[in-house]
Each structure stands twice: as C-alpha cells, then as structure tokens.
Structure 1
Amino acid sequence: MDDASDRRINRTRSALKSALVELILEKGYGSITIMDIANRADYNRGTFYKHYLDKDDLLAAIKHEILRELSDALLAPYEGLDRVDADKIFPSTLRLLQHIELHKDQFVAMISANKDFYYDIYNMLHNSMMNDMHIVIKETKEQIDYEIMLSYRMSAFVGVIMYWVETGFKYSANYMAEQVLIQVNRSLDYIEFNNPG
C-alpha cells in the first residue's frame, strides 16, 4: 500500500470518527445511524463499511486511539530516564491533562456513549504503572501493599479527571496538573467535623 493510499484511509477514518463525535454531542449515541455518520462525514454507507463493521466498532476505534494517546502522553516526558522524583512528575501529568483538554469533545462524547470509559482510563493507567514503571515509596514502619496503594492513587487520579470533565473543564490543564501534584506530595494532617457532638 502506498503513502497516498495510507493518507486517504487515515483521512476517511478521521472524518468518520469526527462525525460520530459530533453526532453524539448533538443527539446522543443511541439514535445515531450509519447513514447519519456517513452523511456527516460526506461519504456513503459503502465507504463506512469498508472501514468499520458498525457504529460500535467505530466507537471502539475512537476509544482505543484515546487510550493509546493517553498512555503515550504519560510516558513521553521520561524517555531514556531510569527514574524521576515524585515532585518532578508534573510534565507527564500536564501532558496527559493537556491531551484531554485538546480533545475534550472526544472525551465528553465517549463518556456519554460509554459509561465504563472512566474504568478504561483507570485500567490503562494501572497497567502502565504496573508494566512501564514502579512507584517507590519512602520507607515507613507500616507495610504498604503495592497493589492497594496503586489502586488508590489511580482511582484518585481518574476521579480528578471525572471531576474536571463533569464541571465542563472549568480549570486549565496546567491548574489541574498543579493541583494533582500538590495532592500526590501532601499528607493529611487531621479531619475536622462540621457538626461535632
């Protein structure tokens, strides 16, 4: 296959993905037909079926692309490094959040169409932290279970992403990354109760 053909395929797939995202935001995933997607992308049904089995297959392709790009964003700043101090993780956090901010329509559409998408993000982060890196914790008297610690931290980070998306991206990616770094490197002092006794 030559470069021109590759570019044409990529253009077609990109147009179909964009069409589906736009339509989800406009009318919801359930009511979208293949004809809707093809018309919006300015192709015919036959062209759609050359690339995807159905709209679920197209949605899965969008999800796969988002998760791959998030994984790349997480690791890219540290290529070639053996380690990075915990207070220096800002670049990867920022890149990951900037990627979400840049593709916010895709995220909102994906969450609208697939309620398990946050869990997919969690799995991607968890797998990356298990396979591509290892968190080293300062020695303490208490024994810390690595799996529980990792689950806690990844769930917290996905919770921050959920909050950000659900509030309509009211803060910048930079602000969110700064806040995440503060949370990662701070310990609780104590908890006050609003209605004691």
Structure 2
Amino acid sequence: MIEFEYLDKRVRRTKLDFYNAFIELLKQKKYEQITIKDIISLAGYSRGSFYNHYREKDDLLNEIIDSLFHEASRAQRAPYINEDSIDVLSLENEAIFILRHFKEYGNYYQTLLGENIRIDFRGQLSNQVVAIFLEDFDMEDTTEGNNLDKDLLNKYYGYGLIGVILDWVIADFPSETEDFSKELGKIFKYSHGTTRIKNKRRLH
C-alpha cells in the first residue's frame, strides 16, 4: 500500500501484520466486538507495539481505508496519467489497472463491504471515484443543442463504473479481470466524443 513505500522495512511488516489481523477479525465478529487485545494477539505483537503506531482501533481502520483509497486513485488514473485527452470510442482495456487493484485487495474490500462494520464504506468509495472523475475529466459535448451538464455526466459515469466494479468484487470476481475490463471498455464506447484531462499536475 502506498504509505508503505516510505517506511522502514520492519515498520512496513508490522503495519501489514496489523492490517491483516484486523481484516481477519472483522470477518469473524462485529467491529464493536473487536478489541486491541484481539488484534495484537492475532498479529503476534505486544500492546506497546500497537500503541507505537495507533491510539485506538479506529486509527487502524482509518489508515487501512485511506491506504486503499490512495492505491485505488493511483490505479484509476494510471491509463491517462500521461495523456491530454481520451477518445472514448477507442477505449479497449484501460479499466484493467483499477480492476487489478480491486482483485489484489479483494479480501480487504469484501470484508469492509460486509455486514460486520457500520461505516458506509461503499458510499465513501463511490464518492472517492466520482470525485476523481469530476477533478480530472472535462467531457466534450458533441451533440448539437444538448448543453449537457458535464458534472452530472461525470457523476453518471463515475457512479456507474464503481457500481458494477463493486458488484464484481462482492460476487467474488465471477469473470476474469481481463475479460471484465474489455466489457467495461465496450460499455464506455456507447459514449461519443473526447474527454479532456484537466489539472494534469495533480495526477502525479
């Protein structure tokens, strides 16, 4: 995960062990029932080790979610990070980057989308994806006289994209990543025209 790139190898391993222990516990019991003692016991660390990194379990949860969001944002932007625009009709397999991310962290996403946690993780993630669409894209309206609301159009695409992806995740990846990516490319081709990339300096 993105924060790990700048951490000492030992700290990186410790955090990952806490992440995995927490996710495993969340599969078994409600978030409210999980204690710090449960986490350190399963992870194999002392209470002091936990408090070196987190004040409470909420901090651990928030760090996991923030890490996932950072990685998802980077994967979402990967196909166009060096582009000035996207020709929608030429899309083929660009969704592969974001889909690989969800597949790699499928265990995390499936657990956080489950019933043992009260936060609206699906809503948070959907809003994250849509925010990137609104920040990065400027749709060109090629139909005369329509005067489309571009923000609304981006929201339509953003929520639609993350909706079908999350259905794929929750269903435990019923189709192969490559095949699903190509299907998404076909769906986006129903749009016409070009999408300009804006705020390019923010993508890096």
- Normalising by the smaller structure, the TM-score range is 0.7 to 0.9
Return the alpha-carbon distance in structure 1 between the equivalents of residues 38 and 90 of structure 2: 46
Change (3 A) 1:183 1:77: closer
Aligned-pair CA distance for 1:101: 0.8
- 1:26 maps to amino acid: Q
Aligned-pair CA distance for 1:140: 3.2
Match of 1:174 among 172, 178, 200: 178
Greater relative contact order, per chain length (Cα 8 Å cut-off, separation 6+): 2
- 1:8 maps to amino acid: R
Return the alpha-carbon distance in structure 2 between the equivalents of residues 109 and 149 of structure 1: 31
Please tell me whether residue 76 in structure 1 is matched to residue 78 in structure 2.
yes
Q: Which runs of 5+ in 1 are unaligned?
A: 188-197
Residue in structure 1 matched with residue 194 of structure 2 by the alignment: none
Aligned-pair CA distance for 1:79: 2.8
Aligned-pair CA distance for 1:56: 1.4
Change (3 A) 1:55 1:90: farther
Match of 1:30 among 29, 32, 56: 32
Change (3 A) 1:168 1:115: farther
The percent identity for this pair of structures is 28
1:87-138, Cα deviation, whole Å (9 max, x unpaired): 4444541110111011100001111225421222222222212223323342
In terms of fraction of residues, the more helix-rich structure is 1
RMSD: 2.1
Choose 140-149 or 125-134, whichever is displaced more: 125-134
| Secondary structure of residue in 2 paired with 1:53 | coil
CA contact (8 A) 2:113 2:121 kept: yes
Residue in structure 1 matched with residue 195 of structure 2 by the alignment: none
CA contact (8 A) 1:73 1:92 kept: no
Please tell me whether residue 158 in structure 1 is matched to residue 162 in structure 2.
yes
Return the alpha-carbon distance in structure 2 between the equivalents of residues 128 and 114 of structure 1: 25
Return the alpha-carbon distance in structure 2 between the equivalents of residues 28 and 179 of structure 1: 36
Return the alpha-carbon distance in structure 1 between the equivalents of residues 72 and 90 of structure 2: 19
Residue in structure 1 matched with residue 142 of structure 2 by the alignment: 138
- 1:183 maps to amino acid: I
Return the alpha-carbon distance in structure 2 between the equivalents of residues 185 and 114 of structure 1: 37
Residue in structure 1 matched with residue 113 of structure 2 by the alignment: 111
The total of aligned residue pairs comes to: 184
Which of structure 1's runs of 4+ aligned residues deviate more than 6 A?
A: none
Return the alpha-carbon distance in structure 2 between the equivalents of residues 19 and 149 of structure 1: 40
Aligned-pair CA distance for 1:179: 2.0
TM-score, normalised on structure 1? 0.84
| Secondary structure of residue in 2 paired with 1:51 | coil
Choose 127-136 or 60-69, whichever is displaced more: 127-136
Change (3 A) 1:92 1:73: farther
